[in-house]
């Protein structure tokens, strides 16, 4: 496989598909980037991007202008097809693979002998097999792995993305990849492809194992964050500073507790563990509980802040941050946003929001009278500061700038300068 002659069709130009398409195109391949959203296609075709990600706009502009990345609203023939579309949860916490199957359907007419199809979307175990079955049904003129004794005409693999938002372009190149083939030959073909642009190790396995690896990675992190969040509740209950406990416990050579926060957000860690729970509900007890603990933390923070606000009716309230984590513009599954929405509903115009990564507040917030303000205004005029996201801009605020405001710091970014607010309880502990 050579970078220069290869044509790659990437279906789904979101947080993963777009950076991947741009990176592959920057290495010399011709990439057809496909999205069903016309605005997304038009934005990219004009050299711009619809998401915020470090260094992405410059790269996209370069490959679009050099005609290496072509934004389209439907797939076109290629050597390699990559599917990177969302796999959301249904209301009853079941994985929805409709977008993956629709993407597979859309590439079916363009498949030819020798093609490689790779699924990158986080998916329940067995989804890659489902794609094989679907393609085999739609293209009886071709052979597919798992559906025919003969050597397949089309090779199919699952290779999960594992990049961290904010560092996507770096991690796409540096991280090891787990390449799961429907057959060992499919895995080998997919590995050859990834080695064109990945500097990390590409390790071959089966498609089912690779699907489970992806879910495992995010469930592992969710469970570890749940430990930190549960610990913060326990410390709050017994009147001890959780941040100090964690800092000291982490000095043990084999202890590495993550950070408590207002809950877990994003489209990955807050979602993927449910795929495991759905597949093995009786076995996945810890994984389910971790999800519940992390979701419960947002409820807890909301109640504590509401109590605090009601105890100081004369004070203006500034909530710092609504994105799902630091230094990104992504609001998906954001616990900070959920908390601020509930506060705005309960307390109306007293709630003000500082969010440097978002131009306009979501309608749900402004509808209740919440207003977006600058950080300086919040520091000058707000008597209650609620830190919900650890953006760098908030970290840099020194104690003197906080003007004696009551601080509820859910991310532990500010040093403690005064006793914490006492709301409905006796011990003088900093709220975690
Ligand atoms: N969080 C905490 N405490 C911590 C760490 C994180 O409360 O100590 C919160 C964050 O604030 C955020 C959420 O957890 O709300 C998730 O953030 P994250 O930075 O841990 O992860 P994501 O969702 O941005 O990206 C994860 C990564 N997975 C793992 O680290 C195992 C990334 O590598 C995956 O590619 C990505 O999910 C994905 O797409 O699946």
Q: Are 74 and 106 in contact (CB under 8 A)?
A: yes
Q: Which atom of ligand 1 is nearest to the CA of 122?
A: 40
User: Is residue 316 domain-resident?
Assistant: yes
Same domain, 246 and 189: no
Take atom 35 of ligand 1 and give the residue whose Cα is closest. 162
Which of these three, 162, 190, 210, is where a domain ends?
A: 210
265 C-beta closer than 6 A to ligand 1: yes
Same domain, 313 and 183: no
Residue to substitute in 217, 269, 323 for testing ligand 1 pocket (most ligand atoms within 8 angstroms of CB): 269
Which of these, 246, 336, 340, 230, lies nearest to 293 by C-alpha position? 230
Take atom 39 of ligand 1 and give the residue whose Cα is closest. 268
Q: Burial of 283 by CB count in 10 Å (0-12 exposed, 13-18 middle, 19+ buried)? A: exposed
Which of these, 294, 302, 323, 334, lies nearest to 408 by C-alpha position? 302
User: Is residue 222 domain-resident?
Assistant: no
CA 138 to ligand 1 centroid distance, Å = 37
169 C-beta closer than 6 A to ligand 1: no
Same domain, 274 and 385: yes
Residue to substitute in 87, 264, 293 for testing ligand 1 pocket (most ligand atoms within 8 angstroms of CB): 264
**How confident is the model at residue 201, as a pLDDT?**
98
pLDDT in tens, the chain (432 residues): 677 689 999 999 999 999 999 999 999 999 999 999 999 999 999 999 999 888 999 999 999 999 999 999 999 999 999 999 999 999 999 999 999 999 999 999 999 999 999 999 999 999 999 999 999 999 999 999 987 778 899 999 999 999 999 899 999 999 999 999 999 999 999 999 999 999 999 999 999 999 999 999 999 999 999 999 999 999 999 999 999 999 999 999 999 999 999 999 998 999 999 999 999 999 999 999 999 999 999 999 999 999 999 999 999 999 999 999 999 889 999 999 999 999 999 998 999 999 999 999 999 999 999 999 999 999 999 999 999 999 999 999 998 888 889 999 999 999 875 545 544 444 444 444
Same domain, 395 and 302: yes
**How confident is the model at residue 415, as a pLDDT?**
82
268 classed as catalytic: yes
Take atom 25 of ligand 1 and give the residue whose Cα is closest. 164
Give me the domain span that covers residue 373.
240-431
The pair of structure tokens assigned to 205 is 């396995």
Task: Write the CB contacts of 173 (distance below 8 Å, at least 6 apart in sequence).
Answer: 23, 197, 198, 199, 200
* Catalytic hit among 178, 186, 235, 268: 268
325 C-beta closer than 6 A to ligand 1: yes
Same domain, 196 and 248: no
Angle at 214 between CA 173 and CA 60, to 5 degrees: 35
User: Is residue 216 domain-resident?
Assistant: no
Q: What is the DSSP letter of 110?
A: G
* Catalytic hit among 214, 235, 319, 347: 214
Which of these, 351, 345, 355, 348, lies nearest to 318 by C-alpha position? 351
Which of these three, 210, 232, 248, is where a domain ends?
A: 210
Tell me the torsion sign for CA atoms 416, 417, 418, 423: negative
259 C-beta closer than 6 A to ligand 1: yes
261 C-beta closer than 6 A to ligand 1: yes
Same domain, 148 and 29: yes
SS3 breakdown of the chain: % helix, strand, coil, rounded to 5? 40, 15, 45
Same domain, 317 and 420: yes
Structural domain total, the chain: 2
Same domain, 41 and 154: yes
Residues facing residue 352 across a β-bridge: 318, 371
**How confident is the model at residue 431, as a pLDDT?**
45
Tell me the torsion sign for CA atoms 339, 341, 346, 351: positive
User: Is residue 305 domain-resident?
Assistant: yes
CATH code of the domain containing 152: 3.40.50.720
User: Is residue 219 domain-resident?
Assistant: no
Same domain, 253 and 203: no
**How confident is the model at residue 2, as a pLDDT?**
73
Quote the CA–CA distance of 65 and 390 in Å, as a whole number: 36
Residue to substitute in 52, 221, 262 for testing ligand 1 pocket (most ligand atoms within 8 angstroms of CB): 221
User: Is residue 283 domain-resident?
Assistant: yes
User: Is residue 140 domain-resident?
Assistant: yes
Same domain, 316 and 400: yes
- In 355-427, which ranges are continuous DSSP H helix? 363-367, 375-381, 392-395
**How confident is the model at residue 128, as a pLDDT?**
98
412 C-beta closer than 6 A to ligand 1: no
Same domain, 246 and 204: no
217 C-beta closer than 6 A to ligand 1: yes
Q: Which atom of ligand 1 is nearest to the CA of 324?
A: 15
11 C-beta closer than 6 A to ligand 1: no
* Residue where the block lists tokens 């209950």: 237
Quote the CA–CA distance of 324 and 329 in Å, as a whole number: 8
Same domain, 202 and 256: no
User: Is residue 353 domain-resident?
Assistant: yes
**How confident is the model at residue 416, as a pLDDT?**
72
Take atom 3 of ligand 1 and give the residue whose Cα is closest. 259
Q: What predicted TM-score, i.e. pTM, was given to this entire model?
A: 0.93
Residues facing residue 319 across a β-bridge: 353, 386
214 classed as catalytic: yes
């Amino acid at each position: 496989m050579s970078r220069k002659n290869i044509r790659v069709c990437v279906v789904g130009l979101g947080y993963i598909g777009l950076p991947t398409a741009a990176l592959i195109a920057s290495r010399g391949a011709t990439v057809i980037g496909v999205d069903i959203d016309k605005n997304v296609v038009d934005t990219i075709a004009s050299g711009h991007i619809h998401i915020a990600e470090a260094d992405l706009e410059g790269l996209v502009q370069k490959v679009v202008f050099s005609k290496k990345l072509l934004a389209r609203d439907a797939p076109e023939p290629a050597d390699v097809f990559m599917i990177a579309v969302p796999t959301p949860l249904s209301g009853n916490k079941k994985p929805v693979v409709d977008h993956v199957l629709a993407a597979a359907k859309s590439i079916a007419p363009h498949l030819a002998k020798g093609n490689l199809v790779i699924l990158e979307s986080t998916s329940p175990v067995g989804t890659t097999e489902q794609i094989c079955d679907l393609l085999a049904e739609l293209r009886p003129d071709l052979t597919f792995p798992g559906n025919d004794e003969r050597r397949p005409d089309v090779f199919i693999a699952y290779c999960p993305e594992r990049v961290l938002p904010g560092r996507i372009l770096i991690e796409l190149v540096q991280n090891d990849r787990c390449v799961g083939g429907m057959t060992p030959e499919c895995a080998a073909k997919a590995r050859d492809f990834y080695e064109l642009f990945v500097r990390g190790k590409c390790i071959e396995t089966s498609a089912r194992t690779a699907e489970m690896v992806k879910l495992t990675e995010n469930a592992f992190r969710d469970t570890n964050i749940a430990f930190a969040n549960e610990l913060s509740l326990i410390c709050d209950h017994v009147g001890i500073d959780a941040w100090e406990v964690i800092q000291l416990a982490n000095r043990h050579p084999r202890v590495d507790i993550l950070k408590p926060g207002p809950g877990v957000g994003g489209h990955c860690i807050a979602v993927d563990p449910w795929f495991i729970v759905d597949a093995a509900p009786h076995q996945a007890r810890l994984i389910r509980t971790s999800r519940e603990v992390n979701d419960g933390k947002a409820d807890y923070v909301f109640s504590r802040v509401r109590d605090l606000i009601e105890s100081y009716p004369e004070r203006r309230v500034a909530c710092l941050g609504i994105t799902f984590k630091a230094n990104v513009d992504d609001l998906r599954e954001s616990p900070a946003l959920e908390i601020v929405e509930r506060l705005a509903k309960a307390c109306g115009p007293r709630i003000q929001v500082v969010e440097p990564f978002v131009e306009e507040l979501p309608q749900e917030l402004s509808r209740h009278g919440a207003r977006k303000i600058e950080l300086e205004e919040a520091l000058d005029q707000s008597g209650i500061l609620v830190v919900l996201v650890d953006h760098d801009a908030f970290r840099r605020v020194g104690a003197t700038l906080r003007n004696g405001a009551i601080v509820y710091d859910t991310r532990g970014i500010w040093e403690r300068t005064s006793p914490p607010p006492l709301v409905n309880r006796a011990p003088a502990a900093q709220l975690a």
